[in-house]
Structure formats: structure tokens, C-alpha cells
Structure 1
């Protein structure tokens, strides 16, 4: 038994050392950028490449997140059906107190489940529509030179579930996002990169991603649909 504990202890130590090495070799500092018209122009270029007008006029969006959380969002009415496991929530995004929580088909007044639905929606919708949000309130835009090209640094100063997070959007020559680097509270390593290049043009004309590739694996957005 003592020998087993020694082996486990050695493995844990090796794992801790490996994680420390990865952290210090891959951790990047948040870049500094310049706010103003140039940053806004780059953000506008990105929205144009993504057909923002089609997204703005889209009423319904459906998707899932890692095959675990499922969504049908009525953007016009600000209502989204959120479901996972035995839970189904009709979430009023602007008036959450009106939301309806069902567990195994029965209505309950469970505030913890409601808050979980709100947090899931904030996170999972971000991975679907983040580029479209760059001119919303509580957001700072900066232009950054990254590897000789202009990139767009977005910082969320308020709103959502994790204010203070920053994302550096890397764009192609047409302004389409190909990836972003993240400085976020839930990831200890600054500058982790996720792809934004598996796009589809939906029925409504909105351009949305179907998956993201990251160092820790693939984030699948499921059967993405957008229509009116």
C-alpha cells in the first residue's frame, strides 16, 4: 500500500511540474492596443464580412453546446428555450423573473437551476455569436498589431457572467475571424487560442460557427440553424 501511495504521489508531482512548465512557457500577457476610430473601423469590417444585417434580422437560432446543452432562441421576443438533462427552462433574457423552470416536466421555483440556465446561455451563446456583439454596451475595442497584422482586442467591462474578460480577434484579409486569443477568468493561461473558421451560411443568411478547435479539444456547436 505504501508503495502505491508513493507511485501516486510521484505521478501527481510529475503532473504538477508539467502543468507549471506549460503555464510559464505558453502564458502570454494581455497585449496593449489603441482605442478610437481605427479600432471601430476594424470591428465594422468584421461585421460586414459576417453579414451582420442578416444576423440582426434573424429571428430564430438553434444550436447545442458539446452535445449537453440545447437551445432554441427567439431573438425578437428575447426568449430562449434552454434544456439539459431533465431540465427545461423558458428563459426570458430581459426579464428573467418571468422565466419558467421545468424539472422532469413539472414546474418548480428553483432559482439555482434558473441561474444555471442564465450562465449556460451567456457562455454557450457567446461561442456562437461573439463577433456580432462588438458594438454592444460595456465593451472596449482596441486595435493591436499581432504578427505584423491588425487584430481587434475586445474587453468586456460589464455584463454577462464574467466581466473583465478580453479576446484578441485574428482576422483574414477580408475581415473574417479565423481565431481569437483569450484572457479570461476561467482559464489560467493567458493567450489560449480557439479557432473561428468552421463557418456556415444559414437559411437566414447569418454566418455562424459549427465548432471551435482548442489546445484542450474540439468544442462542437451541434446542428446550427438560423431562420425567420
Structure 2
């Protein structure tokens, strides 16, 4: 387990977040407008995705609290396996990342790639050093956020969804299996996933990670269990032997959370 978790930390999986999509309309074949409750992000590969898989992705979104509640959720915090603490403003793209193991604090905007970095009490001012650590911060954020928010991202930009069939999870529950492939997005677009959607709850209860999407065996298989309500959405931090902790959905955050290195209390 330790080795598989370590592998995933360095793979820095997939895709930047697109948070501006809200329920919209699309034109049907007969020219009529149809309400879309969970529209795909711009660049989602709808043409090559399976309609059954898309429907299951929409069911997952509904079970997680619904698209409207996800879009309305703004501030999120979590502790990624004790390695890094994150605070994210989903509306602006501002993030605060604290890595206690090497005393690093990164305050940045993941959209503009601007920000501040301090390590062991010293702030970096050199453009080269700053750029290096901002890139590292975004890679950390991409990886660490996907481990918590993946169920909301099944129809993200660059994703192709396919329905694989039915199977059972490690704990013996019946599930639909979806394949996620990526094209031209993120820092590791060659990765692939199989996610297991529980037939009764329409929640993702397991995932399998493939460093190369077309390899025969996954690098690891881990549970997604023990969902709990946070704000108006559901989240799971339970990955078996390892836990994502200190999860919270916040209405407000302390002033200076994304601009000052001084400690904050959430």
C-alpha cells in the first residue's frame, strides 16, 4: 500500500479544474432546447464517450449532492495523507498549500500561476526558484485534489468516458465500471482509471489506477468509502489503509489565507 500511494503522489494526475460550468441548455436534433442539469466541461470528449457512461456520471453527480450544490461550494480544505494541507477557493483559483515535512508554504493562483513561496522560513524572490515551486504547487494540487474530488470531474475537459460493464468491488458490492481516458490535459495524460459505481447508491466506491492507460494490470486498486456530508455535498476521504483528513467545506476563510504566510485557523 505504501508503495502504491507513493506512486500516485508522484504521478500528479490529470486535469485542471473548470468551475464555471453551470446548468445550461443545448439544442436537440429537432432544433428544440433541452435543459442540461450537469453539462460537460468545454473539451469533454462527448463524441467518443459512451451514453451509458455519461448517464452514470450524471447519476454520480446527483448522488454527491448535485451540480448546483457543487458549483455553489466555494472554500474547501483537506489534509492529503499527512503530506500536504490544502485550502482552495474554487471560485477564484486561489490555493494555500502547506507541506510540513519540508516546511514549505505555497500561496498561489492555479489559473494565473502567480503567487508566493516560503521554505524553512525564507521566502523565494528569484523568478526561477519561484516559478519552479509554483509549478510544483500546481502539480501537488492537481494530484491531491483528484484523490478527493474525482467523482465531480467525470465530464471534465479532455476526458473520454466508456462503460466497461458490471463487476464487484473488493468488498463484494455490485458495481458498474467506467473507464476514464485523457487527451491533451494535465501533467500525466497517459494515465487511465477504472471507477466502480455502486449499483444501489450511484456513488463511486472503488478506483483502479493505470500509469499507462493501456497496460493490462492496474498499478493499484483502492476503495472510496465512508462518504460524509460536507456543506451540501458528499465526500469520501477513506482510501483503505490511508485517510484524507481534516476535510471541510467553508463559507468564509480568515483574511490573508491566500496572501500571507502567517498561520491560519479554519
Which TM-score band (shorter chain)? 0.7 to 0.9
- Structure 1 equivalent of residue 189 of structure 2: 163
Q: Which runs of 5+ in 1 are unaligned?
A: 1-33
CA contact (8 A) 1:158 1:164 kept: no
Q: CA offsets per residue over residues 73-112 of structure 1, 9 Å max, x none?
A: 111111110111321111211111x121122343213233
- Structure 1 equivalent of residue 198 of structure 2: 172
- Structure 1 equivalent of residue 73 of structure 2: 58
So what's the TM-score if we normalise by structure 1? Answer: 0.76
Secondary structure of the 1:81 match is: strand
1:137 and 2:157 equivalent?
Answer: yes
Larger radius of gyration: 1
Aligned residues: 188
Q: CA offsets per residue over residues 123-162 of structure 1, 9 Å max, x none?
A: 1111010111111110001111133853221112232221
So what's the TM-score if we normalise by structure 2? Answer: 0.65
* Distance change >3 Å, CA 176–CA 88, structure 1 → 2: same
Q: CA offsets per residue over residues 158-215 of structure 1, 9 Å max, x none?
A: 32221121111111123111101121259x883331101122111x2121112202xx
- Structure 2 equivalent of residue 195 of structure 1: 223
- Structure 2 equivalent of residue 114 of structure 1: 134
Shift of 1:219: 2.6
- Structure 1 equivalent of residue 90 of structure 2: 75
* Distance change >3 Å, CA 149–CA 221, structure 1 → 2: closer
- Structure 2 equivalent of residue 88 of structure 1: 105
1:212 and 2:239 equivalent?
Answer: yes
Structure number with higher helix proportion: 1
1:39 and 2:79 equivalent?
Answer: no
For residues 175 and 142 of structure 2, the distance between their equivalents in structure 1, rounded to whole angstroms, comes to 30
For residues 88 and 212 of structure 2, the distance between their equivalents in structure 1, rounded to whole angstroms, comes to 27
Q: CA offsets per residue over residues 52-86 of structure 1, 9 Å max, x none?
A: 33222111100011112111111111111011132
For residues 189 and 124 of structure 1, the distance between their equivalents in structure 2, rounded to whole angstroms, comes to 25
